[in-house]
Amino acid sequence: MLKKIHRLISIIESKLFPMAYAKKAGVEFGEGCRLNGAPDWGSEPWLISVGKHTEISNNCTFITHDGSTWVFRNQEKYKKVIRFGKIQIGDNCFIGAGTTVMPGIKIGNNCIVGACSLVTKNIPNGEVWGGVPAKFISTTNDFAEKCLKETPEYDVENFCKNKKEEVLKMLK
């Protein structure tokens, strides 16, 4: 009964205070990180490190082990086979909503991972990746230039006061 109560408290804590929960579980964060929602840090959160000024969107999953070894561990030859891998996310990154990062992955500095991606390969510094499995899309600098060109004129002061009005004007 106490285990069930502890588990319930843990689930509530992870949803209400996701950063505090993640740190308590062992995830390492650099300064200025943001969590939008409560990521699933998996069963070995202490194998995950996140660099400075990195944002992780809602419903992301970080897998630090390979549970598929269960299929053949009943055979004597493979009885002791296990696979774990650290996940390292660099500085100044954005991980899109619903992304899954597999064991042993390194995401470099200044990277963007698109929503709902499955990251199965390391991502070098300064690149945008997305898809299932995630693939190179562009450099972060090229994406920034594209966003700059596509950003319409808007009233910055009014945006701060009345975001809805300004966004709706932009989308006309």
- H or E segment at 7? helix 2-16
Please confirm, yes or no, whether 6 is among the known catalytic residues: no
Other CB atoms within 10 A of residue 56 CB: 29
Distance, CA of 92 to chain centre: 12
Geometric angle at alpha carbon 110, from 89 and 159, rounded to 5°: 115
Which of 52, 53, 65, 86 is catalytic? The answer is 65
Positive or negative CA dihedral for 117, 121, 126, 129? negative
Q: Are strands 118-119 and 28-29 parallel, antiparallel or unpaired?
A: unpaired
Q: Which residues are catalytic?
A: 65
